[in-house]
Amino acid sequence: MSFNKLPLEPLYEKIEELKPKFIERLSKAVSIKSVSGDESLRPNVVEMSAFLVNELTNLGFEDIQLKDLGIQPPPVNDPELRLPPIVLGRYGNDSKKKTVLVYGHYDVQPASKEDGWSTEPFELVQVEDILYGRGSTDDKGPVMGWLNVIQAHRELGWELPVNLLVCFEGMEESGSLGLDDLIAKEAKNYFKNVDTVCISDNYWLGTTKPVLTYGLRGCNYYQIAINGPGADLHSGVFGGCVAEPMTDLIKIMSQLVDGKGKILIPGVYDMVAPVTEEENSLYDDIDFSVEELNAASGSNTALHQTKQDILKHRWRFPSLSLHGIEGAFSGGGAKTVIPAKVIGKFSIRTVPDIDSGKLDELVINYINKLFKDLSSPNTIKAELIHDGNYWVSNPFNDSFTAALYATQHVWNMKPDFTREGGSIPITLTFEQQLGTDVLLLPMGRGDDGAHSINEKLNIPNYINGCKTLGSYLHYYGKFESNK
C-alpha cells in the first residue's frame, strides 16, 4: 500500500477539542502513587489497576479481565504480598478486521520532592506546554493515549478500523514478574488471532524528530559477593591485619571495563556480529548530535565525538556498567567500618549475536580468575541475577509501514528508524509466544527524564501522540488481513 493520506482530519480535530479532558485523565493517573518497587505502596498500584478498569468500562471495552498473578516471590518483606493484576480488555471482535494488541504499564518508579523535583512528583503540573509528573511519559501518558483514541472515535461516532486488545501490567518497573507466564498461557486464548503488537514505552532519540524503533539491546545483570570477617570490624583495630572484602571487590570491578567504555572480559567482542556497509549507511541520516547527548546527560562527558560512533555504541555494541556496592558504607559523615560482606552490581547490555549463556560463562570464569590471582583468604560468589535477550525486528513489515504513514501524516516528516540501548524484555516474549510482529511506537521525547527527577511529557507530544496512535490503527487496518 503506497502512502495516500487517509481522511483523518475530523479525528485530529476531535482530539484537539478533547485536549483538556485528556490532560485531566492523565492528571488523575499521575496522582495515583503506583510505585511497584515499594511494598508499602502496593495498595496504590492495585488502585491504579482499578482506575484502568473503570476507564475501560466507561469507554465500552468488553471482556475486561483482572488477571491475578498470585504471591510475589522473594525477596520481599511481606511474605503474603500479592502481585498487582494484569488488566486485559477488548474493543471490537470482528473476524474481518485485523487485531492489534497494545501493551503498556501502569506502575512507576519511586519519586519524592526531596529527590530534587521542582514540583510535587505525583501531581501533574503544567508549565507552559510541558506536563511534569512521575509516570507522565513512562508509561501513563502513552497508556492514557490509547484510551484517548477510543474516546475520540466514540465521540465522532467512528468505528474503530481494527479490533483492539489491551494488556496493561503493574510490575514493569520491578521485573515484570508474572507477565511472561501469563502471555504464554493466553497466547492461544485471550491473545489468539492477534496480528501485531504495538508498544509505546520508549522515546524519541532527540527532541524534534519522531522515531520508530526496531531493535533493543538485551541486559544481563550480575553480582559479585565477597565474604570476609564474621562481622563488620573497626578499621582502627583490624585495618592492615585482615583481608578486606571491599579491597578485593574494588580490584575486581576495576578490571571489568576501562575508562573509555571498553569491556575487558576476553571473548565478549568476538561474539558481536560485524557491522555491514549497508548498516553503516543507516546512521548517516538520523537526526542526532553529540550536543544532544550532552544535553540529555547534563554533562560534557561523551566518550565519542561523532554521531555514528555514539549511536553504534548506544545501540549496536555491547556495554558494561557498574551500578553499585551493597553492604558498604555510603552515608554522610566519616564512618570507619570494615564491611564483612560486600556485593558489587554490574550489567552488560547485549547485542546480536551475543549468546547469553556463553556470555555468563565468560563473565563468571573471568571474575573467578581475577579473584584467584589476588590470593585472598576471603570467599567469592559471582552470579547472574537476571537476563533478557536483545531484539531486532523487520522495519519494513505492515505494522512498521502503517506507523511510518501515521507519523508522516501527523508530524509532516518521515520518522527515523532507530534501535535503543535499553531493554524491554517483554518485546521478545510477545514476538515468540504470539508469533507476531512487534512495533515500538514512542510518544515522548528523548529529554523526558523517565526514571529521573522532573519527569515530563510535552503537550504537543501527548496530543500528537494520540493522533499518531489513532492514525496507526487506521493505516494498519487498510492492509489486507492475513487471516
**Residues catalogued as catalytic:** 107, 172
Main-chain dihedrals φ then ψ at residue 82, nearest 5 degrees: -95, 145
Instruction: Tell me if 138 is assigned to a ligand binding site.
Output: yes
Instruction: Tell me if 304 is assigned to a ligand binding site.
Output: no
Instruction: Tell me if 153 is assigned to a ligand binding site.
Output: no
Q: Alpha-carbon distance 449 to 470, whole Å?
A: 25
Instruction: Tell me if 314 is assigned to a ligand binding site.
Output: no
Instruction: Tell me if 383 is assigned to a ligand binding site.
Output: no
Q: Alpha-carbon distance 450 to 140, whole Å?
A: 11
Q: Which amino acid is at 357?
A: G
How many CB atoms neighbour CB 260 within 10 A? 7
Cβ distance 429 to 196 under 8 Å? Answer: no
Q: What pairing do the DSSP bridges indicate for beta strands 196-199 and 319-326?
A: unpaired
Q: Alpha-carbon distance 181 to 72, whole Å?
A: 14
Instruction: Tell me if 316 is assigned to a ligand binding site.
Output: no
Q: Residue holding cell 568476538?
A: 270
Q: Which residues pair with 418 in a beta bridge?
A: 213
User: What DSSP line would sit under 282-340, residue for residue?
Assistant: HTTTS---HHHHHHHHTSS--S--SHHHHHIIIIIS-EEEEEEEETS--SSS---EE-S
Instruction: Tell me if 173 is assigned to a ligand binding site.
Output: yes
DSSP alpha helix (H) spans, 121-255? 140-156, 179-186, 235-238, 245-253
Question: CA dist 472 to 80, 116, 210, 410, 419, Å?
Answer: 42, 37, 14, 10, 20
Q: Which residues pair with 130 in a beta bridge?
A: 127, 458
Annotated binding site: 105, 138, 173, 201, 234, 336, 349, 423, 451
Annotated binding site for Mn(2+): 105, 138, 173, 201, 451
Annotated binding site for substrate: 201, 234, 336, 349, 423, 451
